[in-house]
Amino acid sequence: MDLPLPAAGRAATFGAMPRPRSFDQQALLDAAQDLFWRNGYERTSIEDIATAAGVGNGSIYGAYRSKLGLFVAVFARYCDARVAVVDEIVASHDGTFEDAVENYLAEIVRDCTGHPDRRGCLMLNSIAELGSRFPEVLAIGDHANARMEEILAARIAESAGSGEILLAADGVRPLAAHILLVSQGIIHVSRTGASLARLEDVVAATRDLASRMRAA
C-alpha cells in the first residue's frame, strides 16, 4: 500500500518547477558522438563525455538517465543525418541514373577518407558492437537502413518508369539493396585500410554497371 507523502515531500513533488537544462544539448551530443564513434560504446565513459562537453556527470544523468540513454539519442540523431544525406544526394539529383549512383558512392568515399583514423560509420560500427545486446539500437539501425533503401528504390523506380533504364518492377528492390550493400562494403574496407584508389575503383565499376542498364 502506498503511504502518503509528508507535506514537504508533496510540495517538492507537485509544487516544484523542473529546472531548465543549463548546458548546450547539441554540444553534448556532438562530444558524445565523437567519442562513441572513435572509441566505441564500451570504451567511452560518462566521465569522458562530461569532460569533453564541459558539463557535470549529474547533468548528463539528469537528461538521459544512463550512458545507454545518451547513446540512443546520439545514435538516432546520427542515423537521421545519414538518411538525410542519402536523400539529398539521390532523391534531389537531376542527372542521369548512373550519375546519382556515382555521386552517392563518391560521397561515402569522401566521408570515409575524411577521417584520418578511418573510423568507419557509427551506425554500422554500433550495430555490430551492440545490436545483439540492445534491441533499441538494432531497431534504429534497421529503420535507417530501410529508409535509405527506400530512397534508392524510389530513384531506381523513377528511372525505370521513365524508360531511362531497362529494369522490371520486381528488380527495383534488389537493385536498391545491392547499391546500399556496396556503400556499406566501401565503409567496411575503408575501415580496414583500403586505399583511396581502391575505393574509387569500386565507385567507377558500380557506375559502369549502372550505365549498362540504360535504354538504347
The pLDDT, as a whole number, for residue 42 is: 97
The pLDDT, as a whole number, for residue 216 is: 67
Which residue, among 175, 171, 180, 202, has the nearest Cα to 189 in the 3D structure? Answer: 202
- Provide the CB-side half-sphere exposure for 28 (13 A, CA): 20
Question: C-alpha cell of 62?
Answer: 539528469
Contact predicate 119/180, CB 8 Å: no
Strand partners, 132: none
**For the chain, where are the alpha helices, taking DSSP H only?**
7-10, 25-39, 46-53, 57-64, 67-86, 97-113, 122-130, 135-161, 172-191, 196-211
Which domains, ranges and CATH numbers included, belong to the chain?
A: 75-211 (1.10.357.10)
Mean pLDDT of 42-62: 96
- pLDDT (tens digit per residue) in 150-174: 999 999 999 999 999 999 999 999 9
Mean pLDDT of 13-38: 76
Global confidence as pTM:
0.85
Residue 17 has pLDDT above 70, yes or no: no
Determine the length of the chain: 216
Report the C-alpha gap between 200 and 195 in whole angstroms: 9
Question: C-alpha cell of 18?
Answer: 523542473
Residue 144 has pLDDT above 60, yes or no: yes
Map residue 214 onto helix, strand or coil: strand
- pLDDT (tens digit per residue) in 91-129: 876 789 999 999 999 999 999 999 888 899 999 999 999
